[in-house]
Amino acid sequence: MTTHAKTPVDPAPSVPVGGAVGRPVDRRDGHAKVTGAARFSAEHHYPDLTYATMVHATIARGTITAIDTAAAVAVPGVVAVLTHLNAPRIRPVRKGNIVRDLGPSVSGTEVNYLNTDQVFWDGQPIAVVVAQTSVAANEAAPLVTVTYREQQARVDFAAEQHNATPAKGDLTFAGTKKKGDAEAALATAQVSVDLRYTTPGLQHNTIEPHATIAVWSGDHLTVHDTTQSTDASHKYLAWRFGVPAAQVRVRAEFVGGAFGGKFAVWPGTVIAAMAAKAVGRPVRLALSRKAVSRAAGGRTASTNRIALGATRDGRLTALIQDSITHVGSVGGLLEATSSPARHLYGAKNMLTRQNLVEMDLLPNTWLRAPGEAIGSFVLESAMDELAYELAMDPIDLRMRNEPATDPTSGKKFSQRMLREAFEAGAERFGWADRNPSPRSMRDGEWLVGMGAATAYHPVLRLVADVKVRLSNDGTALVQCGFHEMGMAAATVQAQIAADALGIAYEKVRVEYGDSDLPPGPMAGNSNQTATVATSVLAACAELTRKVTALARKTGTTGQEPAATLRAAHTPFLEASVGSTSRLGSLRSQGRFLATFLKDQRWSKAARGAQFCEVRVNADTGELRISRWLGMFDVGHIINPKTAASQLRGSIVMGIGMAMSEQTLVDPRNGRTMSAGLDSYYLPVHADIPPIDVAWLNEPDKSMPLGIIGLGEVGMTGVAAAIANAVYHATGRRIRDLPISLDKTL
Amino acid sequence: MDFLRPSTWDEALAAKAAHPDAVPIAGGTDVMVELNFDRRRPPALLDLTRVAPLTEWGTDGDLLRVGAGVSYRRIIEELGSRLPGLAMASRTVGSPQIRNRGTVGGNLGSASPAGDAHPPLLAAGALVELASVRGVRRVPVDGFFRGPKRSVLEPDELIAGFLVRPGGAQQFAKVGTRNAMVIAVCSFALSLSLETRSVGTGIGSAAPTPLRATEAEEFLSRELDWEARGPVPPSVAQRFGELVAAAASPIDDVRGTAAYRSHALSVLARRTLAWAWKGFREVGP
């Protein structure tokens, strides 16, 4: 039933016709990336290109009263210094409805950069230097001197939490959810835990920092941008600069990792386009890693009360999660930390509440598994604590609370194989060898522990326009403005199209990453593979019908499609899903709503069972993770090789969250102190054990080809599995991430 | 910013005398980070990578003399048996790329309390050789550090190299927030000499400067059974650890609490003592 991910590499990777799906095909962009042939956003060449560096505010809240650019302007090579006093006026950020149009929602903040004297966070860009070289721009930027009138700022999350208020819910965000009377049930529960967990803010550190090249040609704007939402950002830029959307082209053929940090349009993109307009030349604005941490959002910090009540035999009677997260005063993602608590366990009485505190900090944003990364740490740690209170195996406790239908909505599950994932995982990991008592397993000076946790991430499907062309030379071209951020998106869609058309995998070319193509979905919420596949399959089916009809006419039935086209003297046939005409856009909205409503009939999710073994040094508290297994219920796998990489990479990211990553904000002034890889600790190779990933490979019958997106689920449950293993090893319960040395002693 | 590129040692000293505010740069693993982050903008950089003698090592009487420009990688590969403590510390510096570029001389020049090379140099009683157009002087390394990132180096002086007596048992241990490429939360080096029956120590990342635990050294040299090389009584190891921790003056910071550092130092002290003494007992001096 289970498929081992460590499939050996096929020495002669010839893919049989009709057998592309399910094969561990190499990434199509791999060669271009390792040889340097792939051009990333900051690497496109234009004659006359100029280089820009932003100047960041050094106060958290206030008004710019004076700004002196003379010294910066005097630096040789400087072309212009733009501030709110001389930058081109552009339209303010528009508020919008996410269901009608993603355009407005991609604004990272509500600030009209360089069009206002107001400062809303330490790090807000307030000027930009444009120069002949990046060296001149970098030299001049710190020479801009700014005088402020400062206001009291709210920058200390710990101190501001008493100001948190319950957040309102909407279609995309659950504010407060109630079932029964959870507090009363907790008070009378036979066994209960009532706990407080905290997680720090986290920063985006993709291998490619955010960068933009903006080029104006008359009223036409081309932007090479590090984005995972070309369609939404081209609409957004069209609005901001007051030109028709058809005149704005956003290109992102290769994106060096995104993880949600490149979904929103951050200041660099807008300011690059603004600067290019002002100087009448192409502008490249590539952020330093420090600038990314000051001008592109990360994950909110959180404080969570989690309380569980149960009967002595381990049936949950009460589940309460009360979370506090923050947003900026000028925007920020409502991080749905209660998502796992609402969907994982069949508690009779439930209360989940999201509380928000507004702060004068850089607005936070999506970061891999927003909501679930935090929520699964909180819930899955608390389940482990309850299991110890009950003297019950933690996996057994989870299985006793497997719900028949979704615990909050009551909807049927389209698929739920969590039990099978835990069973197969426990067997493969050797869970039964574990002595359940804390501090009972030892290897010399190392205390050994094993931990498990549930992984959970919901399914989202958006819409994609797709055009497929089949040519009489036997090749096919798939066009869709989706995004390739390193997860093999094009490879997988080529596999799907090849099998759907009945042609060889190598004959399928895929074009993506360009807003001039038929609009694809944003790449986020693990939606892209299934979303694009839905339309690719529909277009290929229509194309196949056309070929079949033509074959009947030309008497070539049974021959390969190209033979039919040649017999009919037809150079190519095309089929499309969606169109960008006004009517086409309306139809797309309709398709989105129809898909959304159809998907809403079910409770759908990617799930999994995470297992790890840790070693904690009894004397120094050093934590080493020695083994990992993730056993996933993630539908039908299109490409085992790239799926394994995605899951493994997610687990590595979860290990970083558990062990070392944290955004450090100076509580006096709101400045990020961890603005660089020297002070923000990502895990290194030596921190990562061999990671075994496997999956049940059971298709979700409600999804195209049975696909469930797996880009994020691997990160969930990781921190809890580690914290649970640390408890098992040491007897110490870590409720505040990261698990630093001093906490384990 | 001026970029001075002397090709001989005399030229380098003359350049430093003429430009006392020039910042010397060798591997650049500290200096370039500071420039990149705009933490400092010196009027001039003095590139020492063309000065060949800096990358040489050899003997000077009983002592081993190592040029300031010898990289961590070469310390590991070429001097691992003669300076095992320093080689152990060098293995924990950054990544392979950083170890290819970074130098012990640069580490001394930066004088960071967390510099990985400092504890083994302190434990080994190294001398730092400083030179200027005025002449050459050799400063014991425990008198070299003056404060966080401050040393006795005069504005016209350059670090020529360091001298150390090879031999004895040397150990180094470091605790960090992750398993590699990390600044020490605290570190400790130990050196034992059968010949002189002496103990050397070096503490990193637990005080404003790297420092020795002199009381701990005196205590241990008194208590060790040098003659028969008998086992170290647990009470002695315990007391040694306490004295090492007492010598430090750690602070709370994002990498760890002061209490954790004190605790970890005493662990590292006991641990390195056990390793070093075991080595003596098994293979002799």
Per-residue pLDDT of A636-693, as tens digits, reads 999 999 999 999 999 999 999 999 999 999 999 999 999 999 899 999 999 999 999 9
Distance from the Cα of A53 to chain B's closest Cα (Å) equals: 14
Q: Is the pLDDT of residue A581 over 80?
A: no
Q: Which two tokens stand for residue A218?
A: 């008359």
CB within 8 Å of B61: residues ≥ 6 apart: none
Q: Are B80 and B73 contacting, i.e. CB atoms less than 8 angstroms apart?
A: no
Q: What is the ipTM of this complex?
A: 0.93
Q: Which alpha helices (H) appear in A437-581, and where do they start and end?
A: 489-501, 528-554, 561-567
Q: Among candidates A435, A479, A422, which has minimal Cα distance to A729?
A: A435
- Judged by CB atoms closer than 8 Å, whether chains meet at B257 and A290 is answered as no
Q: Is the pLDDT of residue A6 over 70?
A: no
Q: Average of pLDDT values for A119-124?
A: 98
CATH number of A42-152+223-243+259-282: 3.90.1170.50
User: Is there a common fold for A42-152+223-243+259-282 and A398-459+604-745?
Assistant: no
Q: Which two tokens stand for residue A623?
A: 């934590």
Report helix, strand or coil for B186.
strand
- Beta carbons within 10 angstroms of residue A157's beta carbon: 23
- Judged by CB atoms closer than 8 Å, whether chains meet at A620 and B267 is answered as yes
Q: Are A381 and A735 contacting, i.e. CB atoms less than 8 angstroms apart?
A: yes
Q: How far apart are CA A683 and CA A660, in angstroms?
A: 7
Distance from the Cα of B82 to chain A's closest Cα (Å) equals: 27
Q: How is residue A665 annotated by DSSP?
A: B
Q: Is CATH 3.30.365.10 the right assignment for the domain spanning A30-38+461-599?
A: yes
Helix pair angle (B258-283, B234-247), 10° resolution = 140
Residues A3, A8, A14, A16: what is their CA dihedral angle, to the nearest 10 degrees?
A: -20
- Judged by CB atoms closer than 8 Å, whether chains meet at A624 and B179 is answered as yes
Reported as a single tens digit per residue, the pLDDT across A128-159 is: 999 999 999 999 999 999 999 999 999 999 99
For residue B186, the chain A residue with the least C-alpha distance is: A620
Residues 72 through 131 of chain B touching chain A, CB cutoff 8 Å: none
- Residue A103's pLDDT band (boundaries 50, 70, 90)? low
- Residue A13's pLDDT band (boundaries 50, 70, 90)? low
Mean pLDDT score of chain A: 94
Given A208, A253, A613, A712, the catalytic residue: A712
CA atoms within 13 A on the CB side of A344: 33
- Beta carbons within 10 angstroms of residue A502's beta carbon: 13
Q: Is the pLDDT of residue A583 over 80?
A: no
Tell me which amino acid residue B110 is.
Answer: S
Q: How far is CA A542 from CA A575, A577, B57, in A?
A: 6, 9, 75
Q: Is the pLDDT of residue B178 over 70?
A: yes
- Closest CB to B178 among A619, A620, A681: A681
Q: How far apart are CA B111 and CA A277, in angstroms?
A: 48
Strands (DSSP E) contained in chain B are 2-4, 23-25, 44-47, 57-60, 63-67, 127-132, 135-140, 145-147, 150-151, 158-164, 169-176, 184-193, 198-204
Q: How is residue A714 annotated by DSSP?
A: G
Size of interface A-B (CB pairs under 8 A): 54
3-state SS track over A497-516: HHHHHCCCHHHEEEECCECC
CA atoms within 13 A on the CB side of B82: 17
Q: How far apart are CA A656 and CA B181, in angstroms?
A: 14
Where are the domains positioned within chain A? 30-38+461-599, 42-152+223-243+259-282, 398-459+604-745
* Chain B hits for A686, Cβ within 8 Å: 178-181
Reported as a single tens digit per residue, the pLDDT across A541-579 is: 999 999 999 999 999 998 999 999 999 999 999 999 988
Q: How far apart are CA A333 and CA A354, in angstroms?
A: 12
Reported as a single tens digit per residue, the pLDDT across A14-69 is: 789 999 999 999 999 999 999 999 999 999 999 999 999 999 999 999 999 999 99
Q: Average of pLDDT values for A211-220?
A: 98
Q: Is the pLDDT of residue A8 over 70?
A: no
Q: Are A663 and A200 contacting, i.e. CB atoms less than 8 angstroms apart?
A: yes
- By the CB < 8 Å criterion, does B37 face chain A? yes
Q: Are B46 and B138 contacting, i.e. CB atoms less than 8 angstroms apart?
A: no
- Residue A98's pLDDT band (boundaries 50, 70, 90)? low
- Residue A96's pLDDT band (boundaries 50, 70, 90)? low
Q: How far apart are CA B241 and CA A387, in angstroms?
A: 39
Q: Among candidates A116, A26, A141, A173, which has minimal Cα distance to A495?
A: A26
- By the CB < 8 Å criterion, does A620 face chain B? yes
Domains of chain B, earliest start first: 1-48 (3.30.43.10), 169-283 (3.30.390.50)
Q: Which two tokens stand for residue B189?
A: 């080096």
Radius of gyration (C-alpha) of chain B in whole angstroms: 19
Reported as a single tens digit per residue, the pLDDT across B2-52 is: 999 999 999 999 999 999 999 999 999 999 988 887 888 899 999 999 999
- Closest CB to A742 among B38, B181, B256: B256
Tell me which amino acid residue A117 is.
Answer: D
Q: How far apart are CA B235 and CA A406, in angstroms?
A: 61
Q: How far apart are CA B272 and CA B190, in angstroms?
A: 6
Q: Average of pLDDT values for A524-530?
A: 95
Q: Which two tokens stand for residue A697?
A: 């490979």
Q: How far apart are CA A582 and CA A96, in angstroms?
A: 19
Tell me which amino acid residue A467 is.
Answer: K
CATH number of A398-459+604-745: 3.30.365.10
Q: How far apart are CA A639 and CA A452, in angstroms?
A: 26
Q: How far apart are CA A643 and CA A636, in angstroms?
A: 10
- Judged by CB atoms closer than 8 Å, whether chains meet at A620 and B259 is answered as no
Widest distance between CA atoms in chain A: 81
Cβ contacts of A217-221, under 8 Å, gap ≥ 24? A219/A243, A219/A247, A220/A247, A220/A248, A220/A249, A221/A247, A221/A248, A221/A249, A221/A273, A221/A276
Reported as a single tens digit per residue, the pLDDT across B196-254 is: 999 999 999 999 999 999 999 999 999 999 999 999 999 999 999 999 999 999 999 88
- By the CB < 8 Å criterion, does B178 face chain A? yes
Q: What are phi and psi of A109, to 5 degrees?
A: -140, 175
State residue B47's pLDDT score. 98
Q: Are A294 and A675 contacting, i.e. CB atoms less than 8 angstroms apart?
A: yes
Report helix, strand or coil for A623.
strand
- Residue A101's pLDDT band (boundaries 50, 70, 90)? low
Tell me which amino acid residue A388 is.
Answer: Y
For residue A656, the chain B residue with the least C-alpha distance is: B178
Q: Is the pLDDT of residue A521 over 80?
A: yes
- Judged by CB atoms closer than 8 Å, whether chains meet at A686 and B254 is answered as no
For tokens 């350049």, the residue is B15
- Closest CB to B37 among A290, A621, A674: A290
Residues B44, B45, B50, B53: what is their CA dihedral angle, to the nearest 10 degrees?
A: 100
| Residue A712 appears among annotated catalytic residues | yes
Please name the helix (run of DSSP H) or strand (run of DSSP E) that holds residue A88, with its range, or none.
none
- Beta carbons within 10 angstroms of residue A542's beta carbon: 16
Percent of chain A topping pLDDT 70: 97
Q: How far apart are CA B68 and CA B54, in angstroms?
A: 5
Q: Which two tokens stand for residue B33?
A: 């980070």
CA atoms within 13 A on the CB side of B174: 30
Cα-based angle B42, B47, B53 (whole degrees, multiple of 5): 145
Q: How far apart are CA A661 and CA A680, in angstroms?
A: 6
State residue A582's pLDDT score. 72
Q: Are B109 and B159 contacting, i.e. CB atoms less than 8 angstroms apart?
A: yes
Q: Which two tokens stand for residue A354?
A: 């999201």
- Residue A11's pLDDT band (boundaries 50, 70, 90)? very low
Residues 158 through 177 of chain A touching chain B, CB cutoff 8 Å: none
Query: How do beta strands B184-193 and B145-147 pair?
Result: unpaired
Q: Which alpha helices (H) appear in A632-712, and where do they start and end?
A: 640-659
State residue A438's pLDDT score. 97
- Judged by CB atoms closer than 8 Å, whether chains meet at A622 and B175 is answered as yes
Q: Average of pLDDT values for A372-382?
A: 98
State residue B256's pLDDT score. 87
CB within 8 Å of A736: residues ≥ 6 apart: A197, A198, A199, A743
Q: Among candidates A88, A82, A86, A106, which has minimal Cα distance to A96?
A: A106
For residue B34, the chain A residue with the least C-alpha distance is: A678
* Chain B hits for A685, Cβ within 8 Å: 180
Q: Is the pLDDT of residue A7 over 60?
A: no
For tokens 């910013």, the residue is B1
Q: Is the pLDDT of residue A179 over 80?
A: yes
State residue B279's pLDDT score. 84
- By the CB < 8 Å criterion, does A622 face chain B? yes
Q: Is the pLDDT of residue A9 over 50?
A: no
For residue B38, the chain A residue with the least C-alpha distance is: A142
Q: Are A285 and A275 contacting, i.e. CB atoms less than 8 angstroms apart?
A: yes
Reported as a single tens digit per residue, the pLDDT across A685-738 is: 999 999 999 999 999 999 999 999 999 999 999 999 999 999 999 999 999 999
Write b or e for each residue in A572-595: b if 16 or more Cβ atoms lie within 10 A of its Cβ, otherwise e. ebebbbbebeeeeeebbeebbeee
